[in-house]
Structure 1
């Protein structure tokens, strides 16, 4: 049905034609034109009344957002609730090159469900991962946030949340350019989530941020098992920003961990289903005197091109001496279809394809991780160089298909150089909400 205004304009044009052709008299034309104008006024008044009644009837009803997510919130923004989740299914063909048995197969890498929301200035989030068959708690916290009179944002999280330390560890798996993080990220060298308190400060536009947290290990069975505490802090600032698609950001973090709990971490090198973990460091609780670490990072976005780099230095203080672990990763990416990596609150976020046919991205990364060799510690002295090539296709802003090729170009195990160069071809289908 045409709007009332369009109907009246069409009627007026028709009456003019009939008058000009002599079908109706000028007197009849004026009479019919006035009648049409009166009908228009009645129609507009009726429409205004309907709008008023609808507004009054829905004034107390919640607002529902369905653009890539389902979010329910009050009209005044006082409260909100949103179900969240992600599914990541991988298919992997890994060539261990005689280092161990080859690994081929599929894996449900992540299968998360949860919810988040707010009640006035208070917030909450809970998310668990069911990919391993049992629930693993990721985020579980209550938060509070507001602004000072000068516009500076502040907030605090109480519960399990991200440790304010590394850049690659903090970037969500939903938005990473590659299927796997760098070798040092999301490990005990750069821990992802722990239970405790994290406080944040940030400029209103997030051109600078500062976070600090005091945590006590990750939740397991509803409680933490570590006795030592971890203090971590991270800051970032943007020295150059022409827009959110033209910027340079610099960041740095510091972490210190109490002793007595020991240290035990190991890493696969080319895929999550590798049959061996050649990068390993074990420190017994009796020899553990704590740890200190720092990280520096940089991110640049210039239109469709982006680059990112991070360096980590982690020192385990032991009774036998210090063990220094270093790692770095340098990556670059480009959107072939004109999109830009999305910068949000000092990290990266999702992209929206410009075309109904989706978006295409290519990316490459080189990285290194090295664990010092120390006399009497047979598990140290490991090192690996790796490069990764990636091709990503985004059918929509909530779905992505990924193809990665990883290859080790230099490997040292227990201080001995090895000839093996493991590699892997990996595919992922992911969706999130």
Structure 2
């Protein structure tokens, strides 16, 4: 605006000179055609200056960052942008020791940096995008997402380490999950990011993902030539002002020459303890085959969600029966402050706080109840890994869009537990957890 004003003043002064007596005397001497040419010249100069000012303002606007959790730099017309991203999640937990019968230091109070993640993401000309994140939790560096992608109007192709397509709960970011930890089956069945090539097709309310994956970055090499085929389909219509979600997924993995066998096990609803009350023995395994179904609905401040998932372990022994396992959950949640749970691209997403604390509000409060079930027994195959049923209650406070505090309580009822207490494998465990989280 200042540049425009300066240019206008200069132009006015220049044209004003035409009206001065001195210039008038010169004009009397100059031919009429010379006066006209000089006026045209000055007008051309003014137009050139205005064009330059417009270009400068456009360049300034395109280089100025917008804010999406952290500064987002970019130029839409050139087709690029860049953003630093990350999250911090600190967990505090208490796991009871049933009848004080377990001799371990893994029970009682614990805490940890659950995730300390930093990374970058952006787009480049040609409809390409990238995302790279490293996690520093546990004094170790592990790569999370590390991929690039080509994205068109209805299709996308991804290359690198990213989630394969198993479960609504697994694909929802840890920033937006209902409880501190995902449903028990997602960890027990070893869902994780792996290196692969995948394609996504989106058309209206339908979304289809499919890909071929090898192993995660830390495991590739050394003769590991395992691979898996994964697919997930989602139908997510909006009906009567509500968001519905229906999905199904399938996974088949050939382990090939991976040695050491496979076992399935799970922590008691918090990650800061290493104890597992349910766990199968390690068995020589040639294949894994799993499939699942999922459904959810968001209606104003209320939401509900549920999943069921089956895993079959292909035993690499002559005449052995392949064991199969099951996990699932059902939950309901309600925002007391009127917000609605976020949803985007086939997963739950960020909640937009109506009255954040930085604007004098109290933030968003949500209550959630869940029943989470995991069955690692298969009597026909002779596998006794235990059954775990968790009755969970959660209270979440979101003071601003990018900060969350979670308080969770879980009552675990165990049957055929992997850890016996005075010869008893059926007992209960109480778990309390709290998380403080910020992301950007």
Is the structural similarity TM-score above 0.5?
yes
CA deviation string 1:291-324 (max 9, x = no partner): 2110000010010000000000000111321111
Q: Does 1:172 align with 2:177?
A: no
Output aligned runs, 1:216-295, within 5 Å: 216-220=214-218, 226-243=224-241, 246-260=242-256, 261=258, 262-284=261-283, 287-295=284-292
Task: Rate the CA distance shift 1:136–1:224 in 2: closer, same or farther, 3 A.
Answer: farther
Output aligned runs, 1:173-212, within 5 Å: 173-187=174-188, 189=189, 191-203=191-203, 205=204, 207-212=205-210
Q: Does 1:68 align with 2:69?
A: yes
Task: Rate the CA distance shift 1:224–1:306 in 2: closer, same or farther, 3 A.
Answer: farther
Q: Does 1:127 align with 2:128?
A: no
The count of corresponding residues between Structure 1 and Structure 2 is: 373
SS at match of 1:56: helix
Cα shift at 1:412? 2.1
Q: Does 1:424 align with 2:431?
A: yes
SS at match of 2:117: strand
SS at match of 1:428: strand
The answer to which structure has the higher helix fraction is: 2
Task: Rate the CA distance shift 1:62–1:222 in 2: closer, same or farther, 3 A.
Answer: farther
Cα shift at 1:372? 2.6
Task: Rate the CA distance shift 1:224–1:362 in 2: closer, same or farther, 3 A.
Answer: farther
TM-score normalised by structure 2 residue count = 0.79
Q: Which residue of 1 aligns with 2:412?
A: 408
Task: Rate the CA distance shift 1:398–1:370 in 2: closer, same or farther, 3 A.
Answer: same
SS at match of 2:280: strand
Unaligned runs of 5+ in 1: 1-48, 148-152
Q: Which residue of 2 aligns with 1:117?
A: 122
Q: Which residue of 2 aligns with 1:331?
A: 331
Q: Which residue of 1 aligns with 2:212?
A: 214
Q: Distance in 2 between matches of 1:351 and 1:291?
A: 36
Alpha carbon RMSD of aligned pairs, Å? 2.5
Q: Does 1:387 align with 2:391?
A: yes
SS at match of 1:184: helix
CA deviation string 1:178-232 (max 9, x = no partner): 1111111144x251211111111012x5x11000111111111775874221111
Q: Which runs of 4+ in 1 moved over 6 A?
A: 49-53
2:377 aligned to 364, 372, 384, which one?
Answer: 372
1:303 aligned to 300, 313, 320, which one?
Answer: 300
Q: Distance in 2 between matches of 1:374 and 1:194?
A: 32
Q: Distance in 2 between matches of 1:376 and 1:295?
A: 21
SS at match of 1:372: strand
Assess if the C-alpha contact under 8 Å between 1:99 and 1:422 holds in 2.
no
Q: Which residue of 1 aligns with 2:6?
A: none
Assess if the C-alpha contact under 8 Å between 1:195 and 1:224 holds in 2.
no
Q: Distance in 1 between matches of 2:245 and 2:118?
A: 32
Q: Distance in 2 between matches of 1:222 and 1:73?
A: 35
SS at match of 2:308: strand
Assess if the C-alpha contact under 8 Å between 2:91 and 2:433 holds in 1.
yes
SS at match of 2:355: coil
Assess if the C-alpha contact under 8 Å between 1:62 and 1:75 holds in 2.
no
Q: Which residue of 2 aligns with 1:161?
A: 162
CA deviation string 1:142-188 (max 9, x = no partner): 110102xxxxx10111100011121111110000111111111144x
Q: Does 1:355 align with 2:359?
A: no
Task: Rate the CA distance shift 1:81–1:230 in 2: closer, same or farther, 3 A.
Answer: same
Cα shift at 1:55? 4.0
